[in-house]
Amino acid sequence: MAAKARALKKAGKCVVSGRKAAPGKHEDLQLDVHHLFDAHTRPDLAALDDNLLVVCSSIHRNFHQWMGRRPCEPKDFVDYLLHNELGHFQGSASTQNREERRQQQLMQKLELLQARFEGNHLLY
């Protein structure tokens, strides 16, 4: 899908952990593109750039295990982050402000997307 390829190219790293895939390293970081509003229940948003989030494969897998088989929305990803992944936004004293800003930006993006499209509002 072209939208997923665009998202991967634009982000280049996991928006949660901040980790980038480094070519030539033994550690193979896999990045996935997550649909914040589930693509099966919200096909109208499946290719919307704002609905796509680039995350590490492990975070993506853990989120869906945490959710079970339920369809997801951005608010679910916020809950998952708050309960399971906040450690990625902590840093040393010199990076703490940057990590806090990164966390705030991500949360604002998720909350805005939720507010714009919850309740099955169509994009058009």
**What are the tens digits of pLDDT across the range 62-85?**
999 999 999 999 999 999 999 998
Answer yes or no: is 73 within a domain.
Answer: yes
The verdict on residue 61 lying in a domain is yes
114: which 2 tokens? 């939720």
Per the structure, the count of domains in the chain is 1
pLDDT tens digits, residue range 84-112? 987 777 766 777 788 888 889 999 999 99
Q: If pLDDT is split at 50, 70 and 90, which confidence band does 122 have?
A: low
Q: Is residue 7 part of a domain?
A: yes
Q: How many whole angstroms separate alpha carbon 109 and alpha carbon 95?
A: 21
Query: What is the residue range of 31's domain?
Result: 2-119
For residue 124, tell me if it sits in a domain: no
Q: Is the pLDDT of residue 26 over 90?
A: no
Q: How far, in Å, CA of 73 to CA of 63, rounded?
A: 12
CA distance 77 to 52: 12
Amino acid 49: pLDDT: 94
Q: Which residues on neighbouring strands pair with residue 33, listed in sequence order? A: 54
Partner residues linked to 32 by β-bridges: 55
